[in-house]
Chains A and B, each alone.
Chain A
Amino acid sequence: MDISFKNVSYIYQPNTPFEHRALQNLSFDIKSGSYVAIVGHTGSGKSTLLQHLNGLLRPTDGQVQIGNFTLSPDEKLKNVMDLRKKVGVVFQYPEHQLFEETVAKDIGFGPKNFGEAEQEINKRLYEVIEAVQLPESLLERSPFDLSGGQMRRVAIAGVLAMAPEVLVLDEPTAGLDPRGQKDMMDMFYQLHKQKGLTTILVTHSMEDALRYADHVIILNKGTKYMEGTPLDVFTRKQELNEVQLDIPEIIEFLNKVEKRFAINLSYQGQSLAEVAQQVVEKLKGKNYE
């Protein structure tokens, strides 16, 4: 589904001493099937933006278009349930939303609410449990007996079981160990490719934005600060530094190598180890006397 924000503003608790402007005149477009990273400092409005994507919030001003659904300030969306079925949101620390007696019931909770048939839910159950790389033996266990990482996977499976067309991820790897973080991000990327999802990743991590996204939107104080392909955005170090953001390590490294040895390497999704290898090879080719 195509998503577009047109001059969207959002104000929390308007007309009180606690009035707070979270989004200000924000406009952008997300093409169906793309992988977009939304990056910004704490308090830049990322979470507020995210809640517009499935109609949890309505803009105070402007308009949000998600597929055929329109969110506008003065009109309540009638078929908001249909929208929520199509847009799956994985919130920060999604394991906090687990509540059922068994993992299977918890995963089936979403689809059941959206009126899927029992048979269909069972079919999806095995699909998603495999997608999140959990053993089927866990299905009958209580979600509260699992480890933190497993609970997170169960919660994500619960969102995937809704079979959404748009997947919204809010810092899905926060609090996981480095290995778990990479596994999880790879898993989302695979799903994105496999199912042709439109994926929206809200993150602090420049590394993840660079590695997975085809489009990056940088937010600052509720407004759009920059937008473009990761490589475009991450060459503008000066501007990023101004909003307390930094370019990914690997880009920084390539820049420094270029400066120091006059070797020009472009970033093509290599890992840091691969880059090191390339640098070694290039250096060998040079003649230092």
Chain B
Amino acid sequence: MSNSFIIGQYVPGDSFIHRLDPRTKIAIIFTFVIVVFLANSVASYGLLTAFSIGSALLTRIKLSYIAKGLTPVWFLIVFTFILHLIVTKDGEVLFQIASYPIYSGAIIQGAAISLRFFLLILVTSLLTLTTTPIEITDAIETLLGPLKKIKFPVHELALMMSISLRFIPTLMQETEKISKAQASRGVDFKTGPIRDRVQAVVPLLVPLFVSAFKRAEELAMAMEARGYQGGEGRTKLRELKIEGRDLFVISLFLLIIIGLVMTRA
């Protein structure tokens, strides 16, 4: 369990980005994921990069922390770049590495795709870094609200999401606890031949499943005992509310999209 992996990890804070309505954030990120593919010039990429880095700065989370957390993704980004260097054969030959020609088009395209990839990951991880899982599910529930008309179980889906999100840390803790207990009984999870290591997982998985089932049963009972009966007529403790800053951010983002279309090559 790598503690440095930050995708899906919420960092509490009170920054401008933290206080945005989760629906605003989701809508913007969803659109961002699409418009990233519009960029095809230096200016348009510059605009998107400025937007992403600017938002990252506004979260007031240390950039070094964000960068470190994206470590596993760096590998993919670099890999994409190298793949482009090898495969793409556009433009003129710039230089040769061990008699293998590197084309100018390859560098440009590799850089563009890697940058695009990086921006996607950065912006989407900003969502989970600044929004609690509960806020995200609340937002998804309202955003998917119209689907109720075609009898899509939106509330149940949101409930399932929030329950799973709620229990991820619990299960992680449980895994850590049990693996420590088994390690104390001489299980070696980290060294030895693959076969042994696969077998070492059994003493970990069995107790984990047993406790997960037990937990699910207890939760279901506790919910029933408190009269839970689903979406209809249920009120909310935290009402989502669109405020001035949300409108401001949305208009700013629209301007960026317009700018993007205009700076396209």
Contact = CB atoms under 8 A, between A and B. Distances in A.
A94 B178 CA distance: 9
Contacts of A56: 180, 183-184
B218 interface: no
Contact of A99 (B11, B186, B202): B202
Nearest to A111: B186
Contacts of A147: none
B30 to A, nearest CB: 27
B186 A113 contact: yes
A84 B203 contact: no
A57 B181 CA distance: 13
Interface string A16-48: 111000000000000000000000000000000
Given A96-B177, A98-B207, A99-B203, A17 B185 contact: no
Interface centre among B11, B178, B181 (most CB of A within 10 A): B181
Interface stretch (A65-73, A85-93, A190-198): A85-93
B220 interface: no
A17 B62 contact: yes
B206 interface: yes
Nearest to B61: A17
B186 A85 contact: yes
B183 A97 contact: no
Contact of B185 (A16, A96, A158): A158
Given A16-B65, A85-B186, A113-B186, A96 B181 contact: yes
B183 A91 contact: no
Contact of A97 (B61, B182, B186): B182
Nearest to B62: A17
A110 B185 contact: yes
A91 B188 contact: no
Interface string B105-145: 00000000000000000000000000000000000000000
Size range of the interface on A?
20 to 34
Interface in B168-209: 174, 177-178, 180-188, 202-203, 206-207
A91 B65 contact: no
Interface centre among A97, A98, A159 (most CB of B within 10 A): A97
A113 B185 contact: yes
Contacts of B11: 17
B71 interface: no
A174 interface: no
Given A17-B61, A17-B62, A96-B178, A159 B185 contact: yes
B211 A96 contact: yes
A84 to B, nearest CB: 6
A181 interface: no
B186 A144 contact: no
B34 interface: no
Contacts of B99: none
Nearest to B13: A17
B125 to A, nearest CB: 14
Nearest 10 interchain pairs by C-beta: A113-B186, A99-B206, A110-B185, A97-B181, A89-B184, A114-B186, A99-B203, A91-B181, A13-B3, A99-B207
